Structure 1
Amino acid sequence: MKIINNKKIIGPILIVLPKFIGDVINTLPALELLSKLYPKQSICVLARPYLCELLKKTTISNLQIIEDKRDAAFQKQSLLSLAKYLKSYNFSLAILFRGSLREAILCRLARIKLTVGYAQNLRSGLLSHALKLNPCHHYIHRYCRLVNDTHGQPFNDYSLPTLVPSPLEKALPSNSILKIGLYFGGENKGSRHYPIGLSQQILTQYADQFPCHFYLFGDKTESKDNARLQQRCTDKNIQLTDLSGATTLPVLIDYIAVMDLMISIDSGPMHMACAVNTPCVALVGFGTSAWSSVEPKNNAFKVIRNTSKSLIEANIITSITPKSVVIAGKKLLER
């Protein structure tokens, strides 16, 4: 593979981002490496509209955000129209952090000669620099390789993903009350969803031991599940604020940043907590990726893995006991 000489790249650079929050957070170290290689050039990140605000929480100064509206509910953009728009930038280099064939076709249609990505999904012939994917590598490592290996390995290591929160407009209770953020997902999360009955037991056990206020996070599709949990907590006189569907992505990050503790399933809020250095307990059942490849690299983090022998995927996470979650959280709080 021919090494890319960064001194010969004079035009802007295109980065095609993944579709999911956690994956995008895991690309931040690679974006930082790229910014170090090209400090004076525009690094244009092609991102789904709901992810654009998240990218403004980074410390990378030379990022330019381009909205990818191909999957938008309204004013959907075609592949050809997006390619025509990207062509007007005259990109010198494109790096695909998403592994689909469609992204490689997009860059070919946009006439980008240097295109970097993994040799997967029948797209090797469309890439100028096709790397072999090692599935044992962590996602962060995978994204960094696309930058580091193709430029002759100028870096020996990378920094951890970091997001910079903003002050909340609404003040939360005083520091004497423990603030615990919760994301258990809804039925839309399938086998990753932690059941309402077990979730209630976690809250009850914490409330019995500490003066605390819980903040329940989720999107609009999870509001029904969260409302049921809130009702159970109201009956037990547990202080809980349900923020389901009530926050934008940046505001959600700001809330997570001021929590004393975050409890989350394997999903975007877990990665957000680690990126703002909020102590986090993760509940890992049957996930969408191998856990070893997505586990956050953070010292203020504890994972409770399932011990299930169930052949029913939705039941695997139920082997995680509320008591084990409470014990893990208390250890983080003591630190």
Structure 2
Amino acid sequence: MPNSHHSATLIIGPSWVGDMVMAQSLFKVLKQQSPERAIDVLAPAWSLPLLERMPEVRNAICQPVGHGKLALGVRYQLAKSLRKTAYQQALVLPNSLKSALIPFWANIPQRRGYVGELRYFLLNQARKLDKNELTRTVDRFVALALPENAPLPEPLPIPALQISPAAVQRALNSFGLQQDKPILALCPGAEYGPAKCWPPEHFAKVAQHQLEQGWQIWLFGSEKDRATAETINQLTGGSCQNLCGKTSLAQAIDLLSIAHSVISNDSGLMHVAAALNRPLVALYGSSDPGFTPPLSENAHILSLDLDCSPCFKRQCPLGHLACLSDILPQDVSRLI
């Protein structure tokens, strides 16, 4: 690779927490190829705490346009300001047309991504995605670092977020939390919808079991998950710490890093827990563990593999959610 020690790569990052975690495998492969390479990531503002915890990333550049908005003028101004960085290469992870505009306008010589929405002319290294060959999201990301059709590295480097003990202590202090008892972290929500969510009663049974063993229970998630978490808390007689909607993403990451065990639906926080190498039980219903598994040796995946799953629907089309409700609390407790 000529001038690899001068080269800088711009990554157009994905829009979801889990995908941004998995993208770290790509960053690691780029660094293995060329340790001197600078990697900058253009990403939504919410993802900055993730990127700050990835040592491979030099700069996180805040994407000024919200998900789904076109805002061509804003994109053009940002692209113009990026020209002075003289990136050699851009890797575009989302499949949208608009995600390929900035590297094109920034005059980056190599622009690589998968053929998505009508964007042949924006990418000069457009690749056809063979979904049978590259089955997992992480494989699709990493393949963009390699020559076309090259085999993936074995083993694939896995995401590993770096945590500062001082930041953990600050997060503990912010919420008046202690580490005097083992911590079970529950992540009962999922951005995509209820068909990815294990029933709150099941979470509560597992929580109750661990409380009786002298553990403490912390509930993590966004504001949207607060009511579900409150249900779990009520079912355990108010014995849990409901942190849903109270922590920033940065605080959630730092606090999850000290959990002794994590139980999560297939969600962004599940991928965060995997990247923190926490002992993890990952519950899959409407989604496919073959497509977005937790990338960790420390994770147990529970999926009943019913005939009707994965359906990838937000709500159970059959109205029974058996793919999740039939995973029993004792099956989960056994793995903690």
Query: Shorter-normalised TM-score: what interval?
Result: 0.7 to 0.9
Post-superposition offset of 1:187: 8.3
Task: After superposition, give the CA deviation of every residue in 1:97-118 in whole Å (9 maximum; x if it has no partner).
Answer: 2221211233222222310111
Gaps of 5+ in 1: 330-335
Counterpart CA distance in 1 for 2:193 and 2:2 is: 42
Counterpart CA distance in 2 for 1:314 and 1:107 is: 46
Counterpart CA distance in 2 for 1:126 and 1:88 is: 20
The equivalences for 1:165-180 within 5 A come to: 165-167=163-165, 168-169=168-169, 170=172, 172-174=177-179, 177-180=181-184
Q: Do the aligned partners of residues 157 and 187 (structure 1) sit closer, same or farther apart at CA in structure 2, a change above 3 Å counting?
A: closer
8 Å contact from structure 1 (residues 12, 90) kept in 2 = yes
Counterpart CA distance in 1 for 2:82 and 2:261 is: 42
From 200, 205, 217, the counterpart of 2:204: 200
Moved more, 216-225 or 277-286: 216-225
Counterpart CA distance in 1 for 2:225 and 2:62 is: 26
Corresponding position of 1:65: 60
Post-superposition offset of 1:173: 4.1
Corresponding position of 1:324: 331
Q: Does 1:93 find its partner at 2:89?
A: yes
Q: What is the SS of the residue equivalent to 1:124? A: coil
Q: Does 1:260 find its partner at 2:264?
A: no
The equivalences for 1:31-70 within 5 A come to: 31-60=27-56, 63-70=58-65
Corresponding position of 1:298: 296
Task: After superposition, give the CA deviation of every residue in 1:82-139 in whole Å (9 maximum; x if it has no partner).
Answer: 3233334332211112221211233222222310111232223322212221224222
Post-superposition offset of 1:234: 2.0
Post-superposition offset of 1:15: 0.6
The equivalences for 1:84-233 within 5 A come to: 84-136=80-132, 137=134, 138-149=136-147, 157-167=155-165, 168-169=168-169, 170=172, 172-174=177-179, 177-185=181-189, 189-208=193-212, 210-233=213-236
Q: What is the SS of the residue equivalent to 2:20? A: helix
Q: Give the TM-score taking structure 1 as reference length.
A: 0.84
Task: After superposition, give the CA deviation of every residue in 1:176-217 in whole Å (9 maximum; x if it has no partner).
Answer: x33100001068633112222222222223334x11100000
Give the residue type in structure 2 aligned to 1:212: W
How many residue pairs match? The answer is 316
Counterpart CA distance in 2 for 1:8 and 1:206 is: 52
More helix by share: 1
Q: Does 1:280 find its partner at 2:294?
A: no
Give the residue type in structure 1 aligned to 2:331: S
Corresponding position of 2:312: none
Percentage of pairs with the same residue: 23
